[in-house]
Amino acid sequence: MRLMAFGRRRAVAFNELWRHSLQFRVTVSTLALSSAVVFVLGMVLQNQITDRLMETKQRAAIMQTRSAVENAAGQLASIDGDPDDIEEKLNNALKKITSDSPSGQDSASSAAGAFEPVLASRGSDRAPDSTAAAGPYDNVPSRLRQFVEAGQLAKQIHTVGPENERSTYLIVGSPVTTTVRPVQLYLLFPLTAEQSTVATVQNTLLVGGLALLLLLAGIANLVTRQVVRPVRKAAAAAEQFAGGDLDQRLTVLGEDDLAKLAVSYNEMAASIQDQIRQLEEFGQLQRRFTSDVSHELRTPLTTVRMAADVLHASREQFPAGLARSAELLVDELDRFEALLGDLLEISRLDAGVEELSPESVDVRPIAIRAVEQVRVIAGSAGSAIELELPEEETVAEVDARRVERILRNLLANAVDHSEGHPVRLRLAANETAVALSVRDYGVGLRAGEADLVFNRFWRADPSRNRRTGGTGLGLAISHEDARLHGGMLEAWGEPDRGACFRLTLPRTLGDEIDESPIGLPPAERDVPGLPAGNGAAPAGQVPEAGEENEDEWHEVEISEREEVR
């Protein structure tokens, strides 16, 4: 099991290195292909050398055999049928053949080397099945005997001897012509020298092949490194450039393709740097203009507000048309003040001067306060607000003011688009995060609009009448507030099925969020008419703010008769 685990770790490490290193892939690929080429080339060379050795050995052995046959024929010319006389003459002929070879032969025949001769005579008139032999006749294979006894010159490579001392021979057999009975001559040529030569060739090819592979791997590594190093430098420069180091450039060496790549990269980086600086300057001018205009409008707006309040307080003394104009003037001034406040908030967020004031608090009272603040708007729209809160405390490290502003914007936006249907605010938490979702069942969002709702001044349907008099900046500010907490504000919606906005915040500021406690899109049970889950407040009810007993609830009575300014 340890070996298997070790093998798996090595395989994973190899796979990671293969996927991430171009230099390693090229080197390994070159080594694998070179190994195949070297192996095929080595096999071809070995076969060629072995064939040439055996071909030379066989030609010399045949010539040596023919010479020995002539010698043996002269020695056995007077052989007769007496078995004792036959064995004696075979031994004498064998000694003569051994003494005359190989020094007495020409260079061609002596190339066959040393040999062991065997003479055999099978059958006679008195004993047809008898065999007389001189030399190691048992080492001659029976198949070869059959060919030679049939009058043919034959050869065979045969291995003889015990298992731990086996020897390989090239055995050449030929019939010897006599006047009385047939005689066969066999010469056993040991192949020890040829085997040693082939082994030497194999070792030489193996060592040479390994050395060649190592050289090829080193060469491939060096060549690939020359290409990969500039690419790695370009990747590192691009990464630093993307991280904000706009002055990062590549060193241009030479005039090759990599140098052209470096020049093109430097030109691109310079162009992007100029554009980014222009955009930064434009953004700074835009933010300064927005901030300055917002501040400058404060003074005249205050004056107009004072005059409008005087007119509004005396509207009962005016004619009906003039009284209505005073009311409209106050309403539009309220909206104008809200727009200025949002513009100033956006300016501070863009400038990066906004700071959080986090503290560990129970999030449930924040949700209750946000509901209370939109009761009048919900009553005017005819929408009930259903609040679903857990029984236990839901403590998180948040800026209560910003979270309350996010929920207030989401609830007001949901009421404005709910078309009189209920709006549900739900709170849930897990070990790492706390989430709040605002669900409405109104007109919903079309495809692609979920990514646009947080853009500044974006409206899903500009021609649609709004009840809340929104500035178009509420969701953008809410999105920035969520980002300051290290959380997420996401949207989902479908036409005629409503929309759902989910705010997910870490329970401890700076921690990672593993998973949001509330799913998005919302669960199927999250439809009008179904009861809330276990441990939640009944639909349409909200706990009394400031009550010590959290199990006591009272209904959120939304009165349509309450006056809206």
**Over the stretch 337-372, which tens digit does the pLDDT of each residue have?**
777 776 777 666 666 666 778 899 999 999 999 899
Secondary-structure class of domain 257-348 per CATH: mainly alpha
Domain spans in the chain, listed from the N-terminal domain onward? 24-197, 257-348, 357-555
Asked if the domains 24-197 and 357-555 are classified in one and the same CATH topology, the answer is no
Whole-angstrom CA distances from 137 to 68, 157, 186, 447 are 17, 15, 8, 98
Whether residue 75 is predicted with pLDDT greater than 50 in this model: the reply is yes
Residue 104 has pLDDT above 50, yes or no: no
Buried-exposed string 58-72: b where 16+ CB fall within 10 A, e elsewhere? bebbbbbbebbbebb
Q: What is the 3-class SS of 191-213, one letter each residue?
A: CHHHHHHHHHHHHHHHHHHHHHH
Of 92-101, 296-305, 327-336, minimum mean pLDDT range: 92-101
Kindly tell me if the per-residue pLDDT of 190 is higher than 80. Answer: yes
Say whether pLDDT at 299 is over 60.
Answer: yes
Question: Given this model, what pLDDT does residue 106 score?
Answer: 42
Task: Determine the average pLDDT of the residues in 88-99.
Answer: 78
Contact 349, 391 (CB under 8 A): no
pLDDT in the model for residue 530? 40
491 pLDDT higher than 50: yes
Overall average pLDDT of the 90-116 stretch: 65
pLDDT of residue 71: 81
pLDDT of residue 558 exceeding 50, the answer is no
Q: pLDDT exceeding 90 applies to what percent of the chain?
A: 8
pLDDT at 553: 33
Q: Average pLDDT, stretch 192-208?
A: 89
pLDDT tops 70 at residue 441: yes
Partners of 500 in the β-ladder: 439, 492
pLDDT of residue 98: 76
Tell me the average pLDDT of the chain.
78
Tokens of 198: 């082939």
Q: 521: cis peptide before it, omega within 30°?
A: yes
Whole-prediction pTM: 0.45
| 216-250 pLDDT, tens digit each | 888 888 888 887 888 888 888 888 888 888 888 88
Residues ≥6 apart with Cβ < 8 Å to 397? 358, 359, 360, 506, 507, 508, 509
Query: From CA 155, how far away is CA 64, in angstroms rounded?
Result: 13
Q: Is residue 256's pLDDT more than 60?
A: yes
Inform me whether the pLDDT recorded for 77 exceeds 70: no
Residue 521's pLDDT band (boundaries 50, 70, 90)? confident
Out of 83-92, 141-150, 325-334, 387-396, least confident range: 83-92
Least confident of 319-323, 452-456, 470-474: 470-474
Q: What is the mean pLDDT of residues 418-447?
A: 89
- 189 neighbors 110 (Cβ within 8 angstroms): no
The pLDDT of residue 126: 53
**Where is mean pLDDT largest: 14-18, 127-131, 526-530?**
14-18
Pairing mode, strands 423-429 and 385-388: parallel
Alpha-carbon gap, residue 420 to 497, rounded angstroms: 13
Query: Mind listing the pLDDT tens digit for each residue in 61-74?
Result: 888 888 888 888 77
Overall CATH class of domain 357-555: alpha beta
pLDDT of residue 15: 82
Is pLDDT at 451 greater than 50 in this prediction?
yes
Ranking 171-175, 192-196, 289-293, 415-419 by mean pLDDT, the lowest is 289-293
CATH superfamily of 24-197: PAS domain (3.30.450.20)
| pLDDT, average across residues 17-27 | 79
Of residues 150, 138, 153, the one with CA closest to residue 182: 150
User: In this structure, what token pair is assigned to residue 285?
Assistant: 């001018």
Instruction: Outline where 352-494 has alpha helix (H).
Output: 363-373, 375-381, 400-417, 474-484
| C-alpha distances out from residue 356 to 5, 33, 137, 217, 334, Å | 49, 62, 107, 58, 27
Question: Which residue did the predictor score with more confidence, 87 or 531?
Answer: 87
Token pair recorded at residue 1: 């099991």
Phi then psi for residue 51, to 5 deg, are -65, -40
Q: From start to end of 52-152, where are the E strands?
A: 116-122, 131-134
**Highest mean pLDDT out of 99-103, 264-268, 334-338, 474-478:** 264-268
Which range, 312-316, 424-428, 511-515, has the best average confidence (pLDDT)? 424-428
pLDDT > 70 in the chain, percent: 81
Whether residue 78 is predicted with pLDDT greater than 50 in this model: the reply is yes
Instruction: Please give the average per-residue pLDDT across 316-337, as a whole number.
Output: 81
pLDDT at site 437: 92
Q: If pLDDT is split at 50, 70 and 90, which confidence band does 535 have? A: very low
> How far is the C-alpha of 17 from the C-alpha of 28, rounded, in Å?
11
Q: Quick check: 433 pLDDT over 80?
A: yes
The larger pLDDT score, comparing residue 39 to residue 290, is at 39
User: pLDDT-based confidence at 506, cuts 50/70/90?
Assistant: very high
Residue 367: the pLDDT is 92
